[in-house]
Chains A and B, each alone.
Chain A
Amino acid sequence: MTLTQLQEVVKTLEMPAYTARQLAEWLYHKDVEHIAGMTNLSLANRNRLETTYELGLTPHSKVQESSDGTRKYLFPAGNGLYVEAAYIPEKTRSTLCLSTQVGCKMGCLFCMTGKQGFQKNLSAGQILNQIRSLPEKAQLTNIVYMGMGEPFDNPDAVMQSLEILTSAWGFAWSPRRITVSTIGILPSMERFLKESDCHLAVSLHSPFDDERRQLMPVQHIYPIDEVIRCIRSFDMGRQRRVSFEYIMFEGVNDTPRHVNALSRLLHGLRCRINLMRFHPVPGTPLRGSADDVITSFAESLNRKGIRTTIRASRGQDIDAACGLLSTRTLLKDRSKEY
């Protein structure tokens, strides 16, 4: 809950107004596990809270560890549904890739999450539970909203979770350590750019309209040039980062023509392109570009002044790498309308 929501709670329960900040302190700074542990609240108030609320902490139900140290956690999301979160330790930092939805509606051709369809939005509490209940919480340095689901298809919960994460009364994380990734749902992305200071990552994957439509149906509704035009209209300051995710598909989007078009599309925009190896999903007609093609593509973009890096694949052997998170096999038989 945000501070405003906590203030509503204490008002409804006829508690002193300052109790809201005490609650935030317990929830987000002291990591209390039970309402009974909020010892600076009167016993009567603790009892009143316990009759109506619970902390909602849900431990993971399964963990898998990759040979590279990445750990994939399975978190229950209610009603027999689950989400995955990937903890990615590196030498100088440790990142959590968290989920915002069970499944996804976006139907991108290269993504495993989309193959399970869409089941539900996570609440802000369920999003934050992936951090709060992470065994390595104390080691975390970065959080990326890049797991299951499209964050900006669940904007209220995502924005609430960011508010709680970055507020002084909340987890007090620097927004510079948080990145939200989107395929470019414009209304919610605009809201995010206005209301948050966190970094933005946009799944680009092709600079060409027709080609991107084949890879990402959202292009029919929110074309990438309008997404970029929207980003250009915001003053991002010197600290806030915009990056573009670009999965390299052999013979599809890895040619010099794409380098030139990307250069034109992003000209003058302070940003970075992250090139990513494709992690094949079942039934896909796509193949990943060879390493030397990726390297050459990155060099060409850098020569054109577009800062480009190649992202290391992590957790591929446990299906924790980018685009592979899915809880499809855990879904019980569901009726379909078609």
Chain B
Amino acid sequence: MKPAKPNLVFSTVHLSANVEIAPNVHLLRMDKPFAFKAGQVIGIRLDAGQPHRLYSIASGEQEDKLEVLFDINPEGLLTPSLAKLRPGDALEISTPFGFFLNSPGPACWIATGTGIAPFRSMFRTGPYENKTLIHGARNARMFFFQDDFQSVLGQYYIRCSSRGVISDGYNGRLTQYLSEKKDLSPETTYMLCGNAEMVVEVRDLLISRGIPFGQIRAEIYF
């Protein structure tokens, strides 16, 4: 019998930046006390007496600092406090874990909102040459890191704006875009990250378009 895996090990780190990159959406930059794999999550808490919450790492594997992206849940236990942190403030983060990882084969990364975080980590880590990124959001301000993605991925970066009108993307819901898209390959791996409703809706849509469910990977927020 294998020994029980110890509970998550937490380290105290210090914040180097807290940037509000869109209304109520923050990017935290902090010390990086460990190596990780793009797509993994960490637990974050403000002190040992609090329960932790999980966040996808948004920075690349080779970078010196660790970044996480979150939007403020006004009723949440943690995010309103995280949003107030200042450079130099301490917080506790766990060792990384999770298996929503990049693979060398062709893939379509599909995200809504802050679900872009693991794909940003994969993008900054690589490889991304055979990847397509589809990001759904309400309006142009909510396509986080769009300049970075656009400059490198070009036509393989698709923004779907459900409300605001954008000039160089798809005006409509992400699910509408996918239902109209003609070339959905059953050999591609489809990686989904976002809220539960989006993940389930997109997964159902892909399956209805003939994508085997074995080709679909989903990361959920909870």
Contacts and interface: CB of A to CB of B under 8 A. Distances in A.
Q: Interface SS of chain B: helix, strand, loop or mixed?
A: mixed
Contact of A219 (B99, B113, B213, B214): B99
A220 B98 contact: yes
A229 B3 CA distance: 8
A104 B3 CA distance: 32
A54 interface: no
B4 A230 contact: yes
Interface bin, chain A: 35 or more
A135 B135 CA distance: 48
A28 interface: no
B200 A107 contact: yes
Interface stretch (A4-12, A112-120, A315-323): A112-120
A337 B4 contact: no
Interface stretch (B59-67, B121-129, B179-187, B189-197): B189-197
B14 interface: no
A333 to B, nearest CB: 13
Nearest to B175: A338
B138 interface: yes
A338 B112 contact: yes
Contacts, number: 111
A283 interface: yes
Given A221-B98, A337-B162, A117 B195 contact: yes
B221 interface: yes
B222 A105 contact: yes
Interface of B: 1-5, 7-8, 41, 51-52, 54, 97-100, 112-113, 136-138, 142, 160, 162, 173-175, 194-201, 203-204, 207-208, 212-214, 216-222
Given A214-B213, A337-B162, 10 more contacts: A115-B200, A118-B197, A213-B217, A214-B216, A217-B217, A230-B4, A233-B4, A283-B207, A337-B113, A337-B138
